Amino acid sequence: MVAMSYYAMKLNMNNLSGDRFLNMFYGGLTEFGATLIFYLAVETRGRRQSYIGFMALTAVFMTIASFATTCECSVIDIVYLQHVASR
């Protein structure tokens, strides 16, 4: 499942809006950063704990993304709501 999602994102990178070469560059930067973070996590925590932690983090962000795509709020609205809530 993880590999299928990874290849779906990589192969679909050309369909994003904007310059396709910049999209590939940003994807490569993201992948390099993720590899570095995962390497450091494996060295300090071990393979099993790192894998479980990153899969749980992925599940949290995928859940947030599913709600974010259904919300018809702009970034300005969200920032305003955070400002009002902090009072």
Phi-psi region of 17 (alpha: psi -120 to 50; beta: other; left: phi over 0): beta
Contact yes or no for 37/51 (Cβ under 8 A): no
| C-alpha span between 54 and 32 (Å, rounded) | 16
What pTM did the predictor assign?
0.55
pLDDT digits (tens, 9 = 90+) for 23-71: 778 888 888 888 899 899 999 999 999 989 988 988 888 888 777 666 5
Judged by DSSP in three states, 58 sits in helix
Q: What is the pLDDT of residue 58?
A: 83
